[in-house]
Structure 1
């Protein structure tokens, strides 16, 4: 059953969402060549403790970590381990915060870059700003992430009272598949708030007519989540840990996710700040 949040609950989620947005930004900044996944997890524990909240993911039965850290072909539920990040790795950081009894959830994917690579990307940004032409200068990994972020924002743009979940799904699917990438259809976005995962499910693809999908009602809170791969999108369990799910064909994967409030007008994104992960303009370059 889908129950809109009260004004008190929304205020708490706004505060918690702002906190986890800052935490995610700090974790992404820490993710540099030579840093282990365990070091990122330890930093997340520290930041979550300092925020006054709890790790949402530790409320999931059997899951003992504060983050999901997914490298290259691992798309979701990657367990933090001893792996040391390498220049050029594609890393997804997924993290949630339970704050004053309410969850917010967010995820972002970045390319792990050496200082030399970052300087090159900054030169592209200074030369072209956020012009569409910057897409042509992106490498394949940068373009892959730019498309996914763009799909997330276009999905979020459909989050308003009176629309349906299918409007979000359709917007995401059009961009991801239009770019030649594969949506992971067995993994979806979701409601969020009183529980980490609530109704309704928010697929990244349209699997039934829009008018048959759940109606978006004011003060609902949902996690819009774009989960996709450079290959076909089929996934399997991997890493022999019982949690990690990766692409069946070994292709690169990525996830972009924000928690959002349904309003009568423009959607309210709870889990800011916005993060530029490629150094090439990302969203603005392709809107």
Structure 2
């Protein structure tokens, strides 16, 4: 069952989402060759707790850490470890926070030093596809409209769109209805209504769409060993249109990037 949020609840969710956004912002300064994902995980847990929230992933379904850290061919759900990052790596950092009874859930794929041009292009197109999908999250549209838009955009660039893993509703539970696939057919699925809140998160591979899972029971990786990218925003429907609750601005401030990509998804209400 889809749980519709009030304006007041959406504002509480924005607080949770922004804690995650700020966490990713402090991590952006630290993602560099020689740094371990366990170190980044510790920084994230301390920051989240210092800001009056709890790590959203730690202990959820028995996950052992604060962050999902997925480098290179790992798609999502990688477990932090003591292996240093290397020049040319990419790494998806997925983070959750629980505050005021509501979750935030937000992800960004970072470059570690200088990466190959084809990998840079994968990251760029995947991030663009996130906003392509968000534009379709509005009153009157359906789940298939978002999935189709993301799938079409990525496949037109020759990339594989993961099928087995999807975005989701968000609220008092980390994973609520509806599921939000990154593929689909226009006009299919449940219709969007005012007050829905979802996490939209394209997971896109440089090669095949197919995936495998490691024996740790968590880590998902591409079947062909090629890199994968993952970007995620929390989005509410407000006044019939998509309203971002999360932001990449703290990441961009840390990295010295100027961007207006989020401007169309901000409203004053």
TM-score by structure 1 length?
0.85
C-alpha distance in 2 between matches for 1:269 and 1:283: 13
Q: How far is 1:273 from its partner?
A: 3.2
1:141-156 equivalences in 2 (<5 Å):
141-156=119-134
The residue that corresponds to 1:14 in the other structure is 14
The answer to whether 1:252 aligns with 2:227 is: yes
Q: Which of the residues 144, 148, 154 maps onto 1:176? A: 154
Q: Decide whether aligned partners of structure 1 residues 59 and 270 sit closer, same or farther in structure 2, where only a CA change above 3 A counts.
A: farther
Q: How far is 1:143 from its partner?
A: 0.7
The answer to whether 1:228 aligns with 2:204 is: yes
C-alpha distance in 2 between matches for 1:281 and 1:49: 29
The residue that corresponds to 1:32 in the other structure is 32
C-alpha distance in 1 between matches for 2:44 and 2:86: 20
Structure 2 stretches lacking a partner, 5+ long: 262-269
Q: Greater helix share, 1 or 2? A: 1
Q: Which of the residues 188, 193, 213 maps onto 1:212? A: 188
Question: Is the CA contact (8 Å cut-off) linking 1:36 and 1:82 kept in structure 2?
Answer: yes
C-alpha distance in 2 between matches for 1:23 and 1:268: 20
1:1-287 equivalences in 2 (<5 Å):
1-113=1-113, 117=114, 139-206=117-184, 209-238=185-214, 240-274=215-249, 275-276=251-252
The residue that corresponds to 1:124 in the other structure is none
Structure 1 stretches lacking a partner, 5+ long: 119-137
Displacement over 2 Å in runs of 4+: 209-212, 263-266, 273-284
Bigger Rg over Cα: 1
C-alpha distance in 2 between matches for 1:261 and 1:250: 35
The residue that corresponds to 1:123 in the other structure is none
C-alpha distance in 1 between matches for 2:61 and 2:257: 39
Q: Decide whether aligned partners of structure 1 residues 283 and 10 sit closer, same or farther in structure 2, where only a CA change above 3 A counts.
A: closer
C-alpha distance in 1 between matches for 2:59 and 2:6: 23
Q: How far is 1:279 from its partner?
A: 8.0
Q: Decide whether aligned partners of structure 1 residues 34 and 283 sit closer, same or farther in structure 2, where only a CA change above 3 A counts.
A: farther
C-alpha distance in 2 between matches for 1:74 and 1:20: 21
